[in-house]
Amino acid sequence: MVGVEEALMQVWDASVLYLKNAVGAVILLVIGFLLGKILGKVVKEIIVRLRLDEFVSEEKYLHVKPSILGDVITRWTIYLVFIQQATMVLGVEAISQFVQSAYEFILGVVAAAVTILIGYGIAVYLKDRIITSKTVYSDITGKLVFFLVLYLSIAIGLKFIQGVNTVILDYILLVLIASVGIGMAIALGLGLKDVVAEMARDWLKASKHPAKRRR
């Protein structure tokens, strides 16, 4: 009879402890949900006030709004932090490890997104400066520089994400840089061949007919 009572008491204590942990986990989830939504809206408002959406929308082929992206990333980062804490309170190790992996992945995505956005801003600035210079091949050169800088920022940004192999991207980048360099060298060579030939003729004439010495 004593053994049955002890077993019932252990079950009761375990049930009470689990109930307390469950209530604590629910409270953490509610706090995380509210905090995530609030911080997400704050980040979105900051990005909107900085007019980053308008800046990015200047390029017609990009259909990404940084304000929405920042909102989603911020909310889910907060959500995952509190979900992980809730699973730790419940003592569910497997879910806690999974959430930790997802959290690290999202942090990598955030770092990659920031890197790509910064690279995009630099690419747009360089392209505009080159195109407005109105030099020879400025339009083509500006677009080439834009895509190269953007591709470079993407290749660097993806390195922050766990599980993404960027070796192929690095090789492609090297091939692109080499191809563009060779192409520009050939284009400049063809475009300046007449100028170089004229300078060579002038130099030969000057060497064959030196200036008369003054008496």
pLDDT higher than 80, residue 86: yes
Q: Find, among 110, 118, 57, 44, the residue nearest to 81 by Cα.
A: 110
Residue 130 near residue 145 (C-beta atoms within 8 A): yes
User: What percent of the chain has a predicted confidence (pLDDT) above 90?
Assistant: 7
Q: Which pLDDT belongs to residue 36?
A: 92
Q: Would residue 215 count as lying in a domain? A: no
Please state which of the ranges 17-21, 48-52, 141-145, 174-178 shows the lowest mean pLDDT.
Answer: 174-178
Residue 215: the pLDDT is: 46
Q: Is 186 among the domain residues?
A: yes
Q: Decide if 166 is inside a domain.
A: yes
Report which of 113, 120, 132 is spatially closest to residue 57, judged by C-alpha positions.
120
Weakest mean pLDDT among 117-131, 164-178, 198-212: 198-212
pTM: 0.56
Residue 214 has pLDDT above 50, yes or no: no
Same domain? 142 vs 64:
no
Is residue 69 domain-shared with residue 148, that is, in the same domain?
Answer: no
CB 142 within 8 Å of CB 191: no
pLDDT at 33 over 90: yes
Q: Is residue 156 part of a domain?
A: yes
Q: How many domains does the chain have?
A: 2
Mean pLDDT to the nearest integer, 97-109: 79
Query: Looking at 91, 118, 139, which one is the last position of a domain?
Result: 91
Rounded to the nearest 5 percent, the helix, strand and coil shares of the chain are: 85, 0, 15
**Domain end residue (candidates: 34, 65, 91):** 91
> Residue 15's domain spans which residues?
1-91
User: What gap in Å lies between CA 66 and CA 196, rounded to an integer?
Assistant: 49
122 and 87 fall within a common domain: no
